[in-house]
Amino acid sequence: MLVPIKISPQALHEIKHIMDSKNIPEDYALRVGIKGGGCGGVSFVLGFDKSREGDQQYTIGGLPVLVEKRHIMFLMGMQVDFHESNDARGFVFSNPKIPERHDK
């Protein structure tokens, strides 16, 4: 089965840390999805959830990952990374197949 997303080692480490520190139940998995649409585009979301009807389940780096079937086409080729700097930290979604826009 083709896995639609990649998760960097840094992001995997942070996700596992969150699961441990927040006592996420063992029967939960990481849910990756989208919200929104229309003129504003879509936003990518991460959360923890139980499997539901219509989910595809993957294992990435030993981590169970859930994706709704209807979200797969929007997530195909996406990479989830975790960045930490002096002024910001958080998860970043990128798609190396889509060139970055540099508006002037």
Q: What is the tens place of the pLDDT at every residue in 52-71?
A: 999 999 999 999 999 999 99
pTM of the model: 0.86
- The per-residue pLDDT for range 81-98, each reduced to its tens digit, is 999 999 889 999 998 876
Q: Report the pLDDT averaged over residues 11-19.
A: 97
Residue boundaries of the structural domains of the chain: 5-94
CATH number of 5-94: 2.60.300.12
- The per-residue pLDDT for range 20-45, each reduced to its tens digit, is 999 999 999 999 999 976 666 789 99
Distance CA(83)–CA(74), nearest Å, equals: 22
